Homo-oligomer: A and B are copies of this chain.
Amino acid sequence: MKSILAATLSIVTLVSSALAGPVDDMLSADRTFAAMAKSDGVPAAFAAYASDDVRMFPEGGASYQGRDKLVERFAGWPDGAMLEWTPMDGAAASSGDFGYTWGTYVFTAKGEDGETSSYGKYVSIWRKDDGEWKFIVDIGNQSPAPEPAD
């Protein structure tokens, strides 16, 4: 009886982890990405996690494609500015190689009058390239104030 229960529990665990797997993996990649932005800087982290064919949708700017262009644009990242984000949730395709995460962000810039922060939310679309999750789309927009999870 005990072993039947154990076997059943194992199957339940396997099935639910097969479903949760890709979303958890993408959220984990997104968190490591955010941690790298803190430790190594925003431009280095974006360059490391972007796919070759990434498509970027900067607020107030035109969309553009390619990691090379991303690196070029992020070279102008302002001194002392920081983008911090908190992955919240996401969803994945049944193939487990494609999905998205979303979260909230705080952008802090240093100006003459000290620091100013703006708040927003973002969506990243991820694709598994040779076993590694890379984001193929990045888009965000502003929120009026820090928002709770919904």
Contacts and interface: CB of A to CB of B under 8 A. Distances in A.
A136 interface: yes
Contacts of A99: 93, 98
A100 B137 contact: yes
A31 interface: no
A28 B136 CA distance: 21
Nearest to A103: B63
A97 to B, nearest CB: 6
Given A63-B150, A123-B57, A123-B137, A93 B97 contact: yes
A95 B128 CA distance: 13
24 contacts: A55-B102, A57-B121, A59-B142, A60-B143, A60-B144, A61-B143, A62-B121, A62-B144, A62-B150, A91-B125, A91-B136, A93-B93, A93-B98, A93-B99, A94-B97, A95-B98, A98-B98, A98-B99, A100-B100, A100-B125, A123-B125, A123-B137, A125-B125, A139-B140
